Amino acid sequence: MSGQKIVVLGTGGTIAGTSALAGDNIGYTAAQVGVADLLQAVPALQTLPGCTLHTEQVAQIDSKDMDESVWRTLALRCAHHLQDADVRAIVITHGTDTLEETAWFLHQVLTADKPVVLTCAMRPATSLTPDGPQNLLDAVAVAMTAGARGVVAVAAGEIHGARGVQKMHPYRVNAFSSGDAGPLGFVEEGTVRLLGGWPSNMAQALSGKAFQAIERVAGPDQWPRVELVVSHAGARGALVDALVRDGAKGLVVACTGNGTVHHALEAALLRAQAAGVRVVRSTRCPLGQVLPKPGDALPDAAGLSPVKARIALMLDLLCQRAP
Ligand code: SIN
């Protein structure tokens, strides 16, 4: 029997944003309202059958400013609550801008077989028609669904897995997509309609190791430095050379098309790889993934977007460090 407690961790974002003008959906300040007050503003959350909500403010930031230290704190708080038998699920309120990165980070490091549901809003809490309250309700509905598990994102009535979810639009309320994979399911009037299965990776081999590795990180400068570079018309190698000189341990390149790289940038990336820097190719294309070819000089990101490939590489480098 699942526990009946749902822990709601607040991290900020537009869902907690306020504007001086109620009609203003862009000129607001993110991360102003505490997570307890966000829940208070949704009457239906005050009377959940057989379920209690507990809040904790883990951070209060615009998610454009997300960093590894906040991710670590969030993961440790998730792990703490997930091992509590009374806890059924975790809901995380988050900004939309880096939600997919946080979801992927948590997916990579947490092992519990319970739901961890990230939710968000495209309009501030002071909007005339805010989307946050409905998204919160839907996130809690997912958290209460029998059999739900894994790190998922819930917004605009859709449930997305951590691997596929990507913010696709800077303004629309339905800003997220899982590309070719499509959403895992929908939340309709409080009921989940699942299209496939829940994410099943949470017992993956990497997880325990990655969690121990992030537990050991003692300060912000201890994260392996992994940078993103983009291949584009007129790209040059100087940026890569400078990053290597400056101590980058990994580089993810957002390539053109099927993993191709401007020749000048490629030469610098090959120099970096020869010097011991890990280099991974993802693609600038928002759909699909790089199809590797025999003899590729630079490895591909196994279908991860550039920002998620950066996280995977950072965790891999962290796991390789001696304890
Ligand atoms: C943020 O990502 O924190 C601000 C933007 C948003 O939540 O939509």
CB under 8 Å to 49, separation ≥6 — which residues? none
Q: Over pLDDT 70: what percentage of the chain?
A: 97
- Alpha carbon 18 to its chain centroid, in Å, reads 23
Spatial CA neighbour of 103 closest among 112, 94, 111, 300: 94
> CB count, 10 Å around CB of 249?
19
Domains and CATH numbers, the chain: 5-194 (3.40.50.1170), 224-321 (3.40.50.40)
Q: Identify which of 92, 96, 122 to mutate to test ligand 1's pocket (most ligand atoms within 8 A of the CB).
A: 96
Beta bridge pairs of residue 150: 115
Per-residue pLDDT tens over the stretch 221-266: 999 999 999 999 999 999 999 999 999 999 999 999 999 999 999 9
Mark whether 14 is an active-site residue. yes
> What's at 192, amino acid-wise?
V
Q: Which two tokens stand for residue 273?
A: 């790889």
Q: How far apart are CA 309 and CA 172, in angstroms?
A: 26
Atom of ligand 1 nearest to the CA of 63: 3
CA 59 to ligand 1 center in whole angstroms = 13
Low-confidence ranges of the chain (pLDDT < 50): 1, 205
Burial state string for 90-119 with b = 16 or more CB within 10 A and e = fewer than 16? bbbbbbbbbbbbbbbbbbbbbbbebbbbbb
- Whether the CB-CB separation of 86 and 120 falls below 8 Å is answered with no
Per-residue confidence (pLDDT) for residue 1, from 0 to 100: 46
Q: Any idea what the Cα angle at residue 209 is, between residues 249 and 274, rounded to 5°?
A: 25
Atom of ligand 1 nearest to the CA of 61: 3
Q: How far apart are CA 282 and CA 310, in angstroms?
A: 10
Per-residue pLDDT tens over the stretch 97-111: 999 999 999 999 998
Pocket residues: Cβ below 6 A from ligand 1? 12-14, 30, 62-64, 95-97, 120, 122
CA 235 to ligand 1 center in whole angstroms = 30
Question: Ligand 1 atom 1: the closest Cα is on which residue?
Answer: 95
Spatial CA neighbour of 229 closest among 248, 201, 203, 204: 248
The structure's pTM equals 0.97
